[in-house]
Structures are given as structure tokens and as C-alpha cells.
């Protein structure tokens, strides 16, 4: 973990020659495995630069079996806050004091150093809500098909519960985890009709045709060469929690081939990161649209169509 910190701190310094490290510089970061693909250090460093905060934001590679030693290690290193990505969003819970959103969701993505220990929240649901806002998706009484049943999926369900959807169809490779998420949904969001969908093409196609929004929270797409195993026919939107530089994730490609308007996880990433930044530093959220336009230039992506965000200018 220490080696990963100093490697990324060095790369951050080379990337931004204006960064000056001193004895008062605060450390923020993100933990996960894999972590080298993360774009969070790029835009969080931009947020820090714009705000004038004397701080750095770096990634920490924390393998799944090392979470119990990593969290006290981050505290000992005087880290002020960090984001959490796969596979730690649920396993970090025993090490933090969750707020209402993190407690109900059962997963954490934002941790802040408190006086007595780590305090935690979940801004993934804010990021996901912002993605649907950007697309101007009408979620009232919608039927939604959700792939995945982990920590990100729980945050998505939390967001959907606030949008008054009618029916949630959960499809996950592990039936046991799908059943766990379904039970969690029924216990916490009784207004949502929850159904389980088998991990096979016939079931997925039938439900996709009835769903105005399909969502991917699985890790499919994080590895180069991944192919999403299903077609996604029907009208409406497809939203991926995963992202890649060109935006053409495996899930988005499958959605486009089926005629759906799709967006990868970049808007969600920027929006949840802006909310995390506001939590850590006690400031208003950075401008999400400006941040995503800046990010698009950095990674060489064409501007995305985000009418809902553009109307807020």
C-alpha cells in the first residue's frame, strides 16, 4: 500500500508541475482493486487545483484480503478522506461510522476522517441520480432492469427508490447475491415491485423489451476485451456504472446495437466525486458539467449529450 501511494504521488507531481508538497499538505485518495484504471485522481486533482486546497489525491491499491489492515493504515498515515471502489464498498463498513444513506444502502464510497474515527457516506446514489437527470429520463412508474447485486447496485436501488419507479428486475450471475439484493429492496423500499431475472438471454431479452431503463453495475467492462453477454432490446436508456476513455463500454455497445441511447459511467463518476469533494472540504459541489467537459478533453472523448445538465447553466 505504501509503495502504491508514493508511486502515484510521484506521477501526480509530474502531471502537475504547480503542485507543491509540504508538511501541511493533506492526503486524500481512493482504494480499490483494480485501481490503475481510475480517473478519480485526474478530476479530483483538478477540483483541488481550482479550490486552492493544499492537498493531493492519489490511488491506493488494496487487494480484497488486505482491507482489515489497510483502513487502520490509512488512519495512521493521517489520510483525511478517501473514496472506495470495488471490491470494498461493503467490506469497509465494519471499519467506519456510516450515515443514513450508507447504512440503508449497506455500502460506502466516501470516507471522511472524524474526531473519533472514520465517518462514511454514499455519494454513488447522488452520482447515479445525476446521470439520469443529465439524460432527462422519465422514471415515474418506470420498469427498470438492473444487472449486478453488489455495493454499487445497492446505491442505484436507493436512488431509484427516490424516483418513484414501479418495478425493479434484478439480474445477476450469482443467484444468491441477487436474492440478497431483492430481500434488501423489499425490506427497505416496499413501494417497489421487485423481481429476479435468470442470467440467460431469453429472460433478459423479454424483460429488456418491457424496461425503459437498463442499468449495469457488474464489473463487466472493466477489463479490455470484455463482451456483455446479452442483447438489450427496447426503447429508452441504458446506463453503465463502468466507464472507459472512449465511453464505448461492453454494456454501452450492446445497448447501442439494440437501439438504446446509452451513457457510460463518466457522468456518474464525476457527479459522485463532486459530492465527495464537497463532503471532505465543506464547500459547494464543483460544477459537474464544467468538470465533465474538462475531463473529455483530457481523455480525448467527444462531448457527451447531457441535456439535463446543460439546462442548469
**Domain co-membership, 36 together with 99:** yes
**Domain co-membership, 129 together with 262:** yes
The average confidence (pLDDT) of the chain is 92
**Domain co-membership, 144 together with 249:** yes
Give the residue-averaged pLDDT of 116-131: 97
**Domain co-membership, 240 together with 131:** yes
Residue 245: band (very low, low, confident or very high) from pLDDT cuts 50, 70, 90 = confident
Residue 203 included in any domain: yes
pLDDT at residue 18, as a whole number? 57
**Domain co-membership, 118 together with 132:** no
Residue 289 included in any domain: no
CATH of residue 207's domain is 3.40.50.720
Residue 9: band (very low, low, confident or very high) from pLDDT cuts 50, 70, 90 = very low
**Domain co-membership, 114 together with 135:** no
The share of the chain scoring above pLDDT 90, in percent, equals: 86
Give per-residue pLDDT as tens, 14-34: 444 555 789 899 999 999 998
Domain range for residue 231?
125-267
Residue 272 included in any domain: no
The DSSP-derived string for 267-306 is HHHHHHHHHHHHHHHTSPPP-HHHHHHHHHHHHTPPPP--
**Domain co-membership, 61 together with 130:** no
Question: Which residues are catalytic, by number?
Answer: 89
**Domain co-membership, 117 together with 229:** no
**Domain co-membership, 112 together with 136:** no
With a cut of 80, say whether residue 97 has pLDDT above it: yes
**Domain co-membership, 77 together with 207:** no
**Domain co-membership, 209 together with 233:** yes
**Domain co-membership, 195 together with 258:** yes
Give the residue-averaged pLDDT of 40-64: 95
Residue 69 included in any domain: yes
CATH of residue 34's domain is 3.40.50.10860
Bigger pLDDT: 223 vs 79? 79
Domain final position from 122, 156, 182: 122
- φ/ψ region of 78 (left if φ > 0, alpha if ψ in -120 to 50, else beta) reads left
The share of the chain scoring above pLDDT 70, in percent, equals: 93
Give per-residue pLDDT as tens, 133-172: 999 999 999 999 999 999 899 999 999 999 999 999 999 9
Residue 306 included in any domain: no
Alpha carbon 68 to its chain's center: 22
Q: With beta carbons less than 8 A apart as the criterion, state whether 135 and 261 touch.
A: yes
| Cα–Cα distance, 9 to 27 (Å, whole number) | 10
pLDDT at residue 313, as a whole number? 56
Structural domains counted in the chain: 2
Amino acid at each position: 500500500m505504501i509503495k502504491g501511494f508514493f508511486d502515484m504521488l510521484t506521477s501526480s507531481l509530474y502531471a502537475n508541475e504547480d503542485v507543491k508538497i509540504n508538511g501541511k499538505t493533506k492526503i486524500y485518495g481512493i482504494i480499490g482493486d483494480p485501481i490503475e484504471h481510475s480517473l478519480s485522481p485526474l478530476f479530483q486533482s483538478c477540483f483541488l487545483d481550482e479550490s486552492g486546497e493544499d492537498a493531493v489525491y492519489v490511488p491506493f491499491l488494496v487487494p480484497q484480503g488486505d482491507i482489515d489492515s489497510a483502513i487502520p493504515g490509512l488512519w495512521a498515515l493521517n489520510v483525511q478522506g478517501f473514496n472506495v471502489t470495488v471490491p470494498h464498498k461493503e467490506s469497509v463498513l465494519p471499519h467506519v461510522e456510516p450515515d443514513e444513506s450508507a447504512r440503508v444502502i449497506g455500502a460506502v464510497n466516501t470516507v471522511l476522517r472524524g474526531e473519533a474515527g472514520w465517518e462514511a457516506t454514499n455519494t454513488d446514489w447522488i452520482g447515479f441520480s445525476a446521470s439520469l437527470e443529465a439524460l432527462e429520463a422519465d422514471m415515474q412508474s418506470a420498469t427498470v432492469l438492473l444487472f449486478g447485486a453488489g455495493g454499487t447496485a445497492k446505491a442505484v436501488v436507493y436512488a431509484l427508490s427516490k424516483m418513484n419507479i414501479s418495478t425493479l428486475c434484478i439480474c445477476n450471475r450469482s443467484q444468491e447475491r441477487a436474492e440478497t439484493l431483492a430481500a434488501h429492496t423489499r425490506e427497505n423500499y416496499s413501494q417497489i415491485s421487485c423481481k429476479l431475472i435468470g442470467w440467460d438471454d431469453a429472460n433478459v431479452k423479454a424483460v429488456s423489451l418491457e424496461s425503459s431503463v437498463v442499468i449495469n453495475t457488474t464489473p463487466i467492462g472493466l477489463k479490455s476485451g470484455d463482451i456483455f453477454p446479452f442483447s438489450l432490446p427496447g426503447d429508452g436508456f441504458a446506463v453503465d456504472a463502468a466507464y472507459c476513455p472512449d465511453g464505448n463500454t461492453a454494456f454501452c455497445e450492446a445497448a447501442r446495437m439494440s437501439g438504446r441511447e446509452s451513457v457510460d459511467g463518466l457522468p456518474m463518476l464525476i457527479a459522485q466525486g463532486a459530492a465527495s469533494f464537497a463532503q471532505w472540504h465543506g464547500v459547494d459541489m464543483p460544477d459537474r458539467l464544467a468538470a465533465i467537459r474538462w475531463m473529455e478533453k483530457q481523455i480525448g472523448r467527444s462531448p457527451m449529450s447531457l441535456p439535463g445538465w446543460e439546462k442548469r447553466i
